[in-house]
Amino acid sequence: MFQFVRSRLFVAITLFSATHGLLVVGPKFIRSNQNYTLVLTNFNSSLYNVELKVQIDGTTHGGETILNLTRTVDVQQFQNRLVTFEFPNLVPGNYKITLVGQRGFNFYEETDLILKTKSVSGLIQLDKPVFKPGDTVNFRVIVLDSKLKPPANVKTVNVTIQDPRGHVIRKWSAGRLHVGVFENKFDIPPAPLLGMWKITVNDDEEDLVTKSFQVQEYVPSTFEIDVYPTKVPLEKDQALDLTLTAKYFTGNPVQGTAVLHLYLKHGLLDQKKTWQVDGMRQVQLNFKRNLYIYDPQQDVHVNFTFIEEYTNRTLTKYKPITVYQSQYRVELVKESPTFRPGMPYKCDIHVKYQDGTPAANVETEVTIVGCNDEYVKTRTSDKNGMIKQTLLPSADSETINIEVKIDGNDLLDENIDKVEIATDAYVKIELKSQ
Whole-number pLDDT of residue 29: 83
State the pLDDT confidence band at 213, using cuts at 50, 70 and 90: very high
The 10s digit of each residue's pLDDT in 345-359 is 999 999 999 999 999
Whole-number pLDDT of residue 342: 86
Whole-number pLDDT of residue 106: 83
In a domain, 141, yes or no: yes
Q: How far is residue 335's CA from residue 337's CA, in Å, rounded to a whole number?
A: 7
Q: How far is residue 179's CA from residue 121's CA, in Å, rounded to a whole number?
A: 14
Same domain, 167 and 253: no
The 10s digit of each residue's pLDDT in 247-271 is 998 889 999 999 999 999 777 889 9
Cα-based distances in Å from 69 to 66, 100, 102, 429, 431: 10, 14, 17, 96, 96
Q: How far is residue 6's CA from residue 359's CA, in Å, rounded to a whole number?
A: 54
With beta carbons less than 8 A apart as the criterion, state whether 366 and 353 touch. no
Same domain, 336 and 270: no
Same domain, 140 and 160: yes
Whole-number pLDDT of residue 337: 92
Whole-number pLDDT of residue 422: 47
Q: What is the CA radius of gyration of the chain?
A: 35
In a domain, 429, yes or no: no
Q: Is the pLDDT of residue 363 over 90?
A: yes
Q: Is the pLDDT of residue 158 over 50?
A: yes
In a domain, 426, yes or no: no
Same domain, 43 and 55: yes
Whole-number pLDDT of residue 225: 95
Whole-number pLDDT of residue 71: 92
Whole-model pTM? 0.50
Same domain, 287 and 210: no
Once rounded to an integer, what is the mean pLDDT over residues 121-139?
90
Q: Is the pLDDT of residue 330 over 60?
A: yes
In a domain, 32, yes or no: yes
Same domain, 103 and 171: no
Domain's final residue, options 74, 94, 115: 115
The 10s digit of each residue's pLDDT in 64-101 is 999 999 999 998 888 888 999 998 888 889 999 999 98
Q: How far is residue 340's CA from residue 393's CA, in Å, rounded to a whole number?
A: 7
Q: Is the pLDDT of residue 17 over 80?
A: no
Q: Residues 204, 210, 211, 217: is their CA dihedral positive or negative?
A: positive
Whole-number pLDDT of residue 234: 95
Question: How many domains does the chain fold into?
Answer: 4
Whole-number pLDDT of residue 375: 83
Which of the two residues, 304 and 7, has the higher pLDDT score? 304
Same domain, 82 and 156: no
Expressed as residue numbers, the domain containing 302 is: 223-324
| Mean pLDDT of the residues in the chain | 87
Same domain, 244 and 161: no
Q: Is the pLDDT of residue 51 over 60?
A: yes
- CATH for 58: 2.60.40.2950
- CATH for 229: 2.60.40.1940
Once rounded to an integer, what is the mean pLDDT over residues 34-60?
86
Same domain, 372 and 309: no
The 10s digit of each residue's pLDDT in 231-245 is 999 999 999 999 999
Domain's final residue, options 99, 115, 131: 115
Same domain, 245 and 205: no
- CATH for 371: 2.60.40.10
In a domain, 427, yes or no: no
Q: Is the pLDDT of residue 2 over 50?
A: no
- CATH for 176: 2.60.40.1930
Which of the two residues, 43 and 349, has the higher pLDDT score? 349
In a domain, 37, yes or no: yes
Whole-number pLDDT of residue 310: 83
- Tell me which residue of 121, 128, 69 sits closest to 98, measured CA to CA: 69
Once rounded to an integer, what is the mean pLDDT over residues 211-216?
91
Which of the two residues, 74 and 424, has the higher pLDDT score? 74
In a domain, 289, yes or no: yes
In a domain, 424, yes or no: no
The 10s digit of each residue's pLDDT in 367-422 is 999 887 778 999 999 999 999 999 999 888 899 999 999 998 999 999 999 988 64
Whole-number pLDDT of residue 4: 34
Same domain, 171 and 78: no
Whole-number pLDDT of residue 434: 55
With beta carbons less than 8 A apart as the criterion, state whether 416 and 400 touch. yes
Same domain, 161 and 126: yes
